[in-house]
Amino acid sequence: MSSPDLTWVAGGSGLVGRELLALLRDEPVLALVRRPLAGLPASATRREAIVDLLALPATLPAPRRVFIALGTTMAQAGSQAAFRAVDFDAVLVVARAARAAGATQCAVVSALGADARSAVFYNRVKGEAEEALTALGFERLVIARPSLLDGERDSLAQPRRSGEAWTLRLTRPVAGLIPARWRPIAPQRVARALQLALAQPGPAVQVLESGAMQSLGAP
């Protein structure tokens, strides 16, 4: 499947990635995945490529744009090196491959607090990934920095994130009292905000903070 309008989506098994695939179900999409996706609505225009995200094959069809929604946690990764392999290395491998194939647009899910000079390892890796993506020279790069994602991971057959689950349980009843920047955000809002922002004219690099996505990605 090769098309001037082809979109790559990396991370389609996660909360935001699945929402992106749902939004793009009527468009030519290549989902870059490590294992087959399950539970998604059927799409005549979506294909899957089972790949090693750290070593993409050169035979993938060229995209016009790429959405990257890859990420893990320190607890799941088990070490700083394993965490960096997902949240930095795999992100950059996908972005570089897309750019080398001619993609002009990129949208990536980063994190609230991303800062390449942060003393916090998680935030520092996210910030370093943002800087490395910026250096690739996409005509349009949209970086989403969501707060805690308010979604149901159990349905995705993902490892349980106990800290996340407890935080959501405590914050959901008072979500309206939490400033929009810090308030947990639905993955659907993040996906919609990324799609809308990338489709609109804008600066070469645009950062979407969580509060802005609460509004931009609203149903």
Residue 168 CA to residue 150 CA, distance in Å, equals 7
List the domain boundaries for the chain. 7-213
pTM of the full structure? 0.89
The residues, ordered by sequence, that sit 6+ positions from 151 with a Cβ below 8 Å of its Cβ are 15, 186, 187
The residues, ordered by sequence, that sit 6+ positions from 133 with a Cβ below 8 Å of its Cβ are 91, 92, 95, 106, 108, 141, 143
CA-angle at 52, arms to 45 and 34, nearest 5°: 55
CATH number for the domain running over 7-213: 3.40.50.720
pLDDT per residue rounded down to tens, the chain (219 residues): 446 799 999 999 999 999 999 999 999 999 999 999 988 888 999 999 999 999 999 999 999 999 999 998 888 889 999 999 999 999 999 999 999 999 999 999 999 999 999 999 999 999 999 999 999 999 999 999 999 898 765 665 555 555 555 554 656 665 665 676 768 899 999 999 999 999 999 999 999 999 999 999 998
